[in-house]
Amino acid sequence: MAAVFQALQFDTRLKVLFLLRQKEMCVCELEQVLDVTQPAVSHGLCTFRA
């Protein structure tokens, strides 16, 4: 079960990265486009910090 959630999380991160490379978007826009919750988007964004 944990592997499934990890895979879904990875997919969301890739989608966030792809969308943000296209144009600047706020978290609320990403939520709507990806159909995920705000915490899921925020978690995905935190993984890109250096």
Report pLDDT for 44. 72
- How many structural domains are present in the chain? 1
Residue with the larger pLDDT of the pair 10 and 42: 42
DSSP designation for 36 = -
Q: What is the pLDDT of residues 13-50, one digit of tens each?
A: 888 888 889 999 999 999 999 999 998 888 777 766 55
The two tokens of residue 38 are 């705000």
Report pLDDT for 43. 78
Note whether 15 and 34 are within 8 A (CB): yes
CA–CA dist 48, 27 (Å, integer): 14
Is pLDDT above 80 for 10?
Answer: no
Structural domain of 22: 2-46
CA 8, 3, 12: angle at the middle one, nearest 5? 15
The two tokens of residue 9 are 């999380």
